[in-house]
Structure 1
């Protein structure tokens, strides 16, 4: 198996990109953050996932500084939450239509562009994380109305969805959805029907928590004996096996593993060269799937 490419909005991209969340770990070392992103581009990364609430704008600022037009990198951002540096969590929900519009403007400003190529609408209907309450309980149709308006205005190029249910995606299909970001991994496969729908509709499937969750109580692929056994047989790490399994799962799966370490970046990108044979896939597919529907906050 080689890494290959897949369709993402109007582009064809390498199947392993970079998630910018971990850049905030380099907040006091901006030059290192820029150098890491430049290294990712040198290694063939051509799509980057970010958000204004990653490091309260720091990730976007690094992307703005590091990436050049000639790099041809697809930058994908998201709305549905805003930075909240002084809060219990570093973000607060921003689900109302006017907040979504303001978040798009914030991302445009920090990324230094007049158009966001892909914007994910981060719903909170499923998977681990916060759940909306009060005025943050907003209908999907109202959110899609403002997102399509922003697309019509030319401020965003394409719309994605995150933490969405199967029914939600079906309802959103007429709006033209180009990608779905849900929690999905070898040990958390409750969204198989959603993945199948995305595959049928040529929608990119971009899992977050691709090795399981970082919240207490969530399963992790690297804790599974079968993952360790396959890794040992191939001479790779358990993390690489978990990521490789995702690439084998469906042709529209795109990965956005994040890291603040150059060696780890190279290890993530090397996953595209890992081949899992029928016996390895059978052993991994036999691992029990557990739910990630764990609200916090």
Structure 2
């Protein structure tokens, strides 16, 4: 699907998919570990270069019963979001809960059909459209995990936590190993326009940094024209790093640095 973006009080959509024809914009030095992770059996380049674009994002191993299998001996590419504990925020107690399609697809599809969300995520339609989007991640190798955001016991937002350094986005900025990206939408109209999006952006970025010790940066790519979205990321402790030209939008690359965390 084309890339999409919106104010965090509605949704910040997924990064562009591979195969768009956009030229690589930079050369990246990647470790042997990262090169070994690329999917589809692509041959390893003879010289360092940008990562090959995966056909689609995929989902990390889940805890049993959470929509996927835990990989033997490890928590997967994203350090096990299923085990991340709830956190207390000014908006209430918040937790990321990995999606279970049978349980969650109806609610997520309803949110995707909200015009304020559909304009950016482009996943409006029957539940099968949302189910296919979720399944493309859940059946993958662990590069992206779809989650419900649960606030005070109520599911109210949808999140994708993904390995930005293994995503097509890495072709468009100087990615570093273990960079972690976030996409979100706020489902309920009553939760929009009152700062909940900013509060949860900060909370989720903190969850990533707390639970992924190898991750030095959390990244996002809201549409540059979406001033409220960029402002919300700034208020959540992200910094504006650069403008990046993606296949279907010009984006503001937003970065939350671990090194600056105590100052924000």
TM-score after normalising by structure 1: 0.28
Question: Which of the two has greater strand per residue?
Answer: 2
Task: Indicate the structure (1 or 2) with the bigger Cα radius of gyration.
Answer: 1
Larger RCO (CA within 8 A; separation ≥ 6): 2
- TM-score, normalised by the number of residues in structure 2: 0.30
